[in-house]
Structure 1
Amino acid sequence: MKKFLQYTFIAVCFLPSAARAQFETIKDSVVQLYGVVMTADSLQGLQSVTVMVKGQNRGTVTNRQGVFSIVVLKGDQITFSSVGYKPKELTIPKNIEGTDYSVIQLMVTDTIYLPATVLKPRPRREQFERDFLNTQVPADNLEIARQNNDEAKRKVLMAYLPRDGQESNRNHLIKQSNKIYYTGQNAPINLLNPSAWNEFVKAWKRGDFKSKK
């Protein structure tokens, strides 16, 4: 018990000092990085360049004049990237004095060479007309919607497409509701009901009784 109290007393005495020392170390390593990103050929400020701390999910972008500012730590790696330019990396020195560090980052244009495309004319006018008239243009979303809303096509889809989960569940609930509604009594026979015969004829014309694969 005495040893436990001694260890506790020592920890209480030295932990604040250790925490203070660690805080001072982190505080000394914080650096305010600021600067300007420019094009290497014309020395013009580059807008919307992404400035990221490598390995961390934080960063900033340059303004219209190419100026940026971000808080980093000594030893951090900073990446500069922009569309059409080669990415650059910058390492913050660990031995800098003070809490400010300024840079002028030059970005070099990234040239991308695409494979050559050769355009050749048709040998004869007749061949061009034949190929142009026989070209199958794929239907866009509007045309596909029109085709799906065609009455004849909807009848075919209703006859052969299986029921989805919502339709099966609704049909099951209707049957259960009718069964509970006529509990304790005989269900009516609609053999001589004109309204029931009318619904039967409509369903027959729609093809509701065709087998669905």
Structure 2
Amino acid sequence: MKYILILSIFVFSIASLNGQERAEKVIQFTGVVFGADSTSVVPGTHVYIPKSGRGTTTNPYGFFSLPVLEGDSVLFSAVGYKRAYFIVPEHDKESSLRVIIALQDDIQFLEEVEIRPYPTESMFKEALIGMELPNQKEYANIYQWLNSQVMTEAYLNLPASPNANHQYYMQLQRQSYINRYSPPQNQLLNPFAWANFINSLKRKN
């Protein structure tokens, strides 16, 4: 009975030592963190083990590497993404573990907020109507020069263009030819008409 008791204690001691060695097995935990679309990496992701207080962050390529123990719970957190957890499983084949972590987008819709610098709508309208633009004087000058009366006076005082001068002198030349070689249209200047008029008066007398 004594030998059986000693043998049992020895077996349990070996099992306990094996369990402790197995629990304290260090694994090099490496991986890459991607976004929800699985095409873009998430740099600056915090990789943290709350139990041991150790952690690291992903590099600009989303890669991370840190030592962990079997059974550790690893927390992944990044701004704009939901937290993700990963429990390190038993790993007998190799001393390193490679994973790919995909984080989900954390989208929050805020309620609409209206910001009004004026307490009432009437005060806002008065301030809007009385508001003067930074270049208000330039606009007023433009509107003054674009006034219809000013534009009409400027159009009437415009000098004749070369084309208009040419047409005017050509018209004068045509009129001079008409006056020289055509009979006068005004009968008061026609001597034959005056002669006929005088003869008609004599006949009546």
Task: Output the TM-score relative to the length of structure 2.
Answer: 0.47
Task: Output the TM-score relative to the length of structure 1.
Answer: 0.46
Larger radius of gyration: 2
